[in-house]
Amino acid sequence: MNKRLHDSGFGDMAGFFAAITADLGGSLAQLSVLVDAFFTDVSSDEDLADRYDLVNELYSVADNEQHVAAKFAELIVDRIYEYESKIVKYPSLPQAEVLSFLIHNNGTKQVDLGGIATQSVISEIVNGKRKMTAEHIKGFSEYFKVPVSLFYHF
């Protein structure tokens, strides 16, 4: 076994899983659903809707893009993207163009989006001088009621 793994306590996997199972208690079923959402392909539109709900729930818990819930959400977004790229064809446009279109099409002013980012940050995004963070993507997708995949480019 690798020394780093051994020193980290992962040498005793049976003990590790016994401890984590005891610590998680009733949350083990929820963890199982979460892990399944990371690694299992989206199988239907209903499954897709469930994954979007899960991503939104995870982002609502995350207070920044480094939060573990945001990291989990990104893993699920990967599965969503794979499914949508096969089924739903969204134009692959730069974030600046997508946001500009949504702002213009909805009659939104940059100041209306103040809960998501400052007006200067929104201006930089619209002008292509700044990329969106996961937090921005979450906020814009909720505000305009569009899939987060419109803003992600893989």
Q: What is the per-residue pLDDT across 23-54, written as a single tens digit (0 to 9) for each?
A: 667 677 788 888 899 899 999 989 999 999 99
Distances (CA, A) of 78 to 55, 68, 73: 11, 16, 9
Half-sphere exposure of 97 (CA within 13 A, CB side): 7
Q: Residue 122 pLDDT > 80, yes or no?
A: yes
- Judge whether residue 127 has pLDDT over 90: yes
pLDDT at 4 over 70: no
- Tokens of residue 140, six digits: 């814009």
Scanning the structure block, which residue is given the tokens 């690798």?
2
pTM, two decimal places = 0.49
pLDDT digit string (tens) for 77-109? 999 988 877 776 666 788 999 999 999 999 999
Q: How much of the chain exceeds pLDDT 70, in percent?
A: 82
CA distances from 134 to 1, 14, 43, 101 (A): 37, 36, 25, 19
Alpha helices, DSSP H, located in 10-133:
13-24, 28-39, 45-61, 68-87, 95-105, 119-126
Fold of 95-150: 434 Repressor (Amino-terminal Domain) (1.10.260)
Does residue 139 or residue 93 have the better pLDDT?
Answer: 139
Q: CB-based contacts of 89: which residues, under 8 Å, 6+ apart?
A: none
